[in-house]
A and B are shown apart, each in its own frame.
Chain A
Amino acid sequence: MTHFIRKSLWSIAIVLAVVPMADVMAQVRSEAADGTGSLAALTAEIRQLRLALEESTRSQAQTQALSVYLSAQQSRILQVATRLDAARKELDEATMRLSEITRGLEETRTSLLSVVDPVRRQELERANQEMKAMQPRFVREEQQARARESELALALQTEEARWTDLISRLEQLVKK
């Protein structure tokens, strides 16, 4: 994807450089066709060409700077997105553990209502106690994972907003 972005940015630079130059060249050709040919007209044409070249150089420099910013911003977005993916996986696992312990507790509670065999009851009570002891840890882990996921989702939103801002600036540059 980096290669694609770099290629795209160079394409933007070429568009930005070539289009104003082409406008000026067309104007120069149009004026030459009038047949004035005076020194004053020639000087004016040279001035126009110089201005166009300066404008083109400025646009190129700005585009190159934006290219660097976009590239850096892309890295930031990818980093945060990777961390967010990991946090979401962690949250999925924590949610699975919590729902499993909740389901297990409900199952043993229901079974204890009907099972009369003392050995089986003892086994069920042992499982029930163990799960009750584990439950607070899984609740805590799930909350922590959820908080981390929210934090990173927000961070990604911020980085994406920066990216959008850079794209808008690029758009403004083209509009000029």
Chain B
Amino acid sequence: MLKKIALLVLVTGLLAGLRVSAAQTLDIYFIDVEGGQSTLIVTPEGQSMLIDAGWDGFDNRDPKRILAAAREAGIKRIDYLVITHFHRDHVGGVPALAQQLPIDTFIDYGEPIEASDFAQAGFKPYALVRASGTSRRPAPGETLALRGVEVDIVASGGAIISRPLPGATGAANGACATSTTPTAEEGENPRSLGIRLRFGKFTFLNLGDLPGSKLAALACPNNLLGHSDVYLVPHHGNSDSAIPAVISAVSPRVAIVNNGATKGGYAEGLASLRDAKGIEDVWQLHRTRNAGAVNYPDAFIVNLEEGDKDTGAYLKLSADESGSFTITNGRTKVTRAYK
């Protein structure tokens, strides 16, 4: 009997070792940083990647919100911090966050070219924190390998991929014929570091604040992006990211707009999503009160209030390898499934 029990315990252990965490999900927390970006990705094996850290100031509002999401996710350090670009609404929260949560590897495109305070005031404190860890500057086309999850670099420092992403055809995009040519922009936004993440059949596209002609070049004349299940709308849903040919190229099931009450979430940006074919749902991180902007129903908006009443809830996405996923509104706690 003793021998049998010992054997059973040992054999169970051996078999458990062979099949590691087969049924776990990839979790993505879209944190409301009021018109900036902070997206926390936690892999089934517990690796973490934070894309941007929101604003500085506001009594450390954004680092506190990121910490709350990290606590919910059960992570105690950030393995990769990806900075899409050096504007304060993306990089400002890093120094305060780094005091609470150790950061292993910093991924960005080097230094800003913009002399504005909006870029320099965010970059300088960030650069000091970055110097304390390991940093990488991957080029478009490179891949960051997390265990079980692949992250393709789509754009960085003003350069974009020259070949279709894995799984994309690179075929001519018929929707380009109906799109007007967007204007070229300067500064940090068009230098955004953008990624496409794959977990089994699930795909997620996050291009930072990539706007205008740089964004359009990924979809026209040929579609280099291919389909992504979830599309974080670039530049917070501003008019310069409302490019029908890009939305058609990505053909997302779900689009997420990381807007604030008055920053991002503009009329043209939201309208372009409403007009697009095939999008099942659009989620907003905040209700917008921009002129002419038509909000999606409250159930699809994470935060409705402003000021003291704003609880800063997040949107949580959980995906499995089959490509199906759920989205939970942190305010209402209601979960919607996408099979």
Please tell me if A120 contacts chain B, counting CB pairs below 8 Å: yes
For residue B200, which residue of chain A has the nearest CB? A92
Q: How many A-B pairs with Cβ below 8 Å? A: 108
Docked complex Cα distance between A107 and B17 (Å): 47
Docked complex Cα distance between A15 and B150 (Å): 44
Residues facing B in A74-105 (CB within 8 A) are 74, 77, 88-89, 92-93, 95-97, 99-101, 103-104
**Which chain B residues lie closer than 8 Å to A4 at the CB level?**
13-14, 17
Please tell me if B299 contacts chain A, counting CB pairs below 8 Å: no
Which of the candidate stretches A24-32, A147-155, A166-174 sits at the interface with the other chain? A166-174
Docked complex Cα distance between A77 and B150 (Å): 23
**How does the 8 Å CB contact mask read for B191-226 relative to A, with 1 for contact and 0 for none?**
000000010110100000000000000000001001
Docked complex Cα distance between A73 and B201 (Å): 30
Contact A170 B174 (CB under 8 A): no
A120 interface neighbour in B2, B166, B177, B198, Cβ under 8 Å: B177
**How does the 8 Å CB contact mask read for A95-129 relative to B, with 1 for contact and 0 for none?**
11101110110011001000100011001101110
Given contacts A104-B174, A111-B174, A127-B172, contact A174 B18 (CB under 8 A): no
**Which chain B residues lie closer than 8 Å to A175 at the CB level?**
3-4
For residue B164, which residue of chain A has the nearest CB? A97
- Which of B2, B11, B168, B248 has the most A CB atoms < 10 Å from its CB? B11
Q: By DSSP majority rule, is chain A's interface helix, strand, loop, or mixed?
A: helix
Please tell me if A131 contacts chain B, counting CB pairs below 8 Å: yes
**How does the 8 Å CB contact mask read for B14-26 relative to A, with 1 for contact and 0 for none?**
1001100000000
Q: How far is the CB of B144 from chain A (nearest CB, A)?
A: 15
Please tell me if A130 contacts chain B, counting CB pairs below 8 Å: yes
Contact B167 A107 (CB under 8 A): no
For residue A94, which residue of chain B has the nearest CB? B167
Given contacts A11-B6, A96-B167, contact A107 B175 (CB under 8 A): yes
Contact B174 A92 (CB under 8 A): no
**Which chain A residues lie closer than 8 Å to B13 at the CB level?**
4, 8
Contact B18 A1 (CB under 8 A): yes
Given contacts A96-B168, A131-B172, A170-B11, contact A15 B177 (CB under 8 A): no
Given contacts A96-B227, A101-B171, contact A74 B18 (CB under 8 A): yes
Q: How far is the CB of A157 from chain B (nearest CB, A)?
A: 14
Please tell me if A68 contacts chain B, counting CB pairs below 8 Å: no
Please tell me if B100 contacts chain A, counting CB pairs below 8 Å: no
- Which of B10, B175, B277 has the most A CB atoms < 10 Å from its CB? B10
**How does the 8 Å CB contact mask read for B143-183 relative to A, with 1 for contact and 0 for none?**
00000001000000000000000111101111111100000
Given contacts A107-B174, A131-B172, A134-B171, contact A174 B7 (CB under 8 A): yes
Number of chain B residues whose Cβ lies closer than 8 Å to a Cβ of chain A? 34
Contact B14 A100 (CB under 8 A): no
For residue A128, which residue of chain B has the nearest CB? B174
Q: How far is the CB of B28 from chain A (nearest CB, A)?
A: 19
Contact A174 B4 (CB under 8 A): yes
Contact B172 A96 (CB under 8 A): no
Contact A127 B10 (CB under 8 A): no
Please tell me if A21 contacts chain B, counting CB pairs below 8 Å: no
**Which chain A residues lie closer than 8 Å to B37 at the CB level?**
none
Please tell me if A161 contacts chain B, counting CB pairs below 8 Å: no
**Which chain B residues lie closer than 8 Å to A99 at the CB level?**
227
Contact A92 B201 (CB under 8 A): yes
Docked complex Cα distance between A93 and B167 (Å): 4
Contact B174 A8 (CB under 8 A): no
Contact A15 B172 (CB under 8 A): no
Given contacts A92-B200, A103-B251, contact A97 B177 (CB under 8 A): no
Q: Which A residues have a C-beta under 8 Å from some C-beta of B?
A: 1, 4-5, 8-9, 11-12, 15-16, 19, 70, 74, 77, 88-89, 92-93, 95-97, 99-101, 103-104, 107-108, 111, 115, 119-120, 123-124, 126-128, 130-131, 134, 138, 163, 167, 170-171, 174-175
Listed A/B pairs (6) with beta-carbon separation below 8 Å: A4-B14, A5-B14, A100-B226, A101-B169, A104-B173, A126-B172
Q: 8 closest Cβ contacts across the A-B interface? A: A96-B167, A123-B177, A127-B172, A127-B174, A108-B174, A93-B167, A120-B177, A1-B17
Known: A96-B203, A107-B277, A138-B169. 9 other contacts (CB 8 A): A15-B2, A15-B7, A92-B167, A92-B201, A96-B168, A104-B169, A107-B174, A115-B178, A174-B6
